[in-house]
Amino acid sequence: MLNLTSSQGVNYIFEFESYDDLHVCKECVGKALSKTGEKPKPGDTSEVPSEQPSTEELLSRMNMLRENSELQKLHKQFVSNGVLTEAEFWATRKKLLGGNTSTNSKQRTGLKSVMLSDTKPSTDSRTNKVTFTLTPEIVREIFAEKPAVHQAYLTLVPKKMSERDFWSQYCRAEYLQHSKNANAAAAAAAEAAEDEELSLFLKPDNILASETRRKIRGVDPTLDMEADEGDDYTHLPDHGIVCDGSKEITELQHELYRRTLSQDLNRHAAVVLQGTTIDEEQLKDTQTVAEALERSKQGQNTSNEETDINANQDRLSRILKMMEIDDLQASSDLPLALLSIKDPRDYFDSQQASALKTSRDTSIGNDPVRRTLSVEESYASLRDSISHIKNTGLVDPMVTPEVAAKVLSVLTHNISSTKYDGGKNPGLSVLDTLPNTIKEELIYHWTSIQELLRHYWSSYPITTMYLYSKVSRLKDAMSKIDSQLQELNESVQSDLRHQVTLLIRPMQQALEVAMQHYDADMQKRSS
């Protein structure tokens, strides 16, 4: 909430749905107040965090301070010294305390990797009675792995048959298919012929078959291994292993009711990887699970139809592209005139001459330039230069002695340091090369600066007297740390001062930007 007081003393309380909207409104109000030159009123304390932590939260804070020594140092430095209040310090760490974490996990619970076939029914040896136990979790997995069973449940229950009869027929079909009898497929076919309702669970899943065909249509036609299965010589007459054809005909008659382990395993793996959109709260009864799964599939069907249209168009374009034979196509390249050069030197010499002429014309105009000297002229110029050096000597040295001495000393220092550091880890940073005391002090200062800057920049724009006093306290603390950094830089040894300066400079720059912003804002408000 945000409490604004007008010039007439009327209070307006605004409630926002999110913190982002609150921050945007605060920024707009701050800009409006800065334009009008109004200062925050002392009586406005609407932003003062005055929450009373619960006993559980206090225990969490104490445990966190006990376990984290770095956090304990920050708490002692800022809260105990009055730079930050207790609520301000913990306001940026609510996620660590678990204040913003919901009790319910946002991650959906996946399906178990245990297959339905691994769930064995209980058998009574005296009465030969087989009992299946179906829980809402098992029903959810059945509906996910077998869409035809799910569709049959929505169609038949409770209009044409009761839920008990439905699951009795399903368990009977499962028992027939998982029977260890060698003629299990024939027995299942005989049962399906007598009972029409039982045949719904014994026949292949038409929904899965259509989904498989849809996936096959998306396969690249050039990589369709099933289409090329009969191209090898083993499928030709008089090749391969001779087998009895009568047995194959008998097996093909019952192939409709045969279900292999590989099919069940592949389907179960696909469902487990896909996951489920049904939460644990919806696992109340079978009807609730079926309806929830139906609602989740409605959006998937729409997206699958759009994907099929795009896949068909892509497949047609790929087929047309593969049907074209490049060797039989006419050349699409434009005819080009062949470049005929008898002597390559003539070509390059002419190019060089034209380039020289162009550069000469652009640099000195049209005046001719003499680029050759005779032997006499060259000898005379060299003789004059030698005579001049003999008379005057080499007055100006090529390198000044001071620069040469400085370069020599730096080079000697680098060579000695390289020998000293030989064998050490070359991946060490500048911070790792410092002594532990200086290293820990720099890390502590950097952590403190981060804490101060986080609270400082989140306090703008200043719209209340509370924020005004908070920013003033933070500014004083930043000035104190800046002076401590300067003292640290001056107290270290001379051979380590350069490395320490490299580490301190970014900290001082961050503090300097914040303090310059504070001075500019105060000057803007006072003017």
- Please report how many Cα atoms fall inside a 13 Å half-sphere around the Cα of residue 75, on the Cβ side: 16
End-to-end Cα separation, the chain, in angstroms: 31
Query: pLDDT for 450-481, tens place per residue?
Result: 999 989 998 888 888 888 889 999 999 999 99
Please enumerate in sequence order all residues whose Cβ is within 8 A of that of 113, keeping only pairs 6 or more positions apart, or say none.
272
Buried-state track 501-516, b at ≥16 Cβ within 10 A, e below 16:
eebbeebbebbeebee
Report yes or no on whether pTM surpasses 0.75. no
Q: Which helix (H) or strand (E) holds 130?
A: strand 129-131
What are 108's two structure tokens?
Answer: 């959906």
123 to each of 120, 126, 137, 164, 167, how far by Cα in Å?
9, 9, 22, 19, 17
What is the percentage of the chain residues whose pLDDT exceeds 90? Answer: 7
Mean pLDDT of 110-131: 74
Top pLDDT among 182 and 190 is at 190
pLDDT (0 to 100) of residue 511: 92
Query: pLDDT for 226-248, tens place per residue?
Result: 666 656 666 666 665 555 554 44
385 C-beta neighbours (distance < 10 Å), count: 10
Alpha-carbon distance of 169 to 62, in angstroms, equals 61
**How is the chain split into domains, by residue range?**
2-99+434-526, 116-225+243-320, 377-421
Alpha-carbon distance of 3 to 1, in angstroms, equals 7
pLDDT band at 109 (very low <50, low <70, confident <90, very high): low
Least confident segment among 80-89, 106-115, 243-252? 243-252
Mean pLDDT of 206-218: 80
Amino acid 446 reads W
Least confident segment among 97-111, 393-407, 426-440? 97-111
From 83, 86, 79, select the one nearest 53 (Cα to Cα): 86
pLDDT band at 351 (very low <50, low <70, confident <90, very high): low
Query: pLDDT for 387-429, tens place per residue?
Result: 887 887 766 666 677 887 887 887 777 665 544 454 455 556 7
Alpha-carbon distance of 2 to 12, in angstroms, equals 8
Q: Please give the mean pLDDT across all residues of the chain.
A: 74
pLDDT band at 300 (very low <50, low <70, confident <90, very high): low
pLDDT (0 to 100) of residue 367: 52
Calculate Rg over the CA atoms of the chain.
Answer: 43
Mean pLDDT of 198-224: 75
47 pLDDT more than 60: no
Query: pLDDT for 19-43, tens place per residue?
Result: 667 777 877 777 676 655 544 444 4
44 pLDDT more than 80: no
Least confident segment among 128-132, 178-182, 291-295, 473-477? 178-182
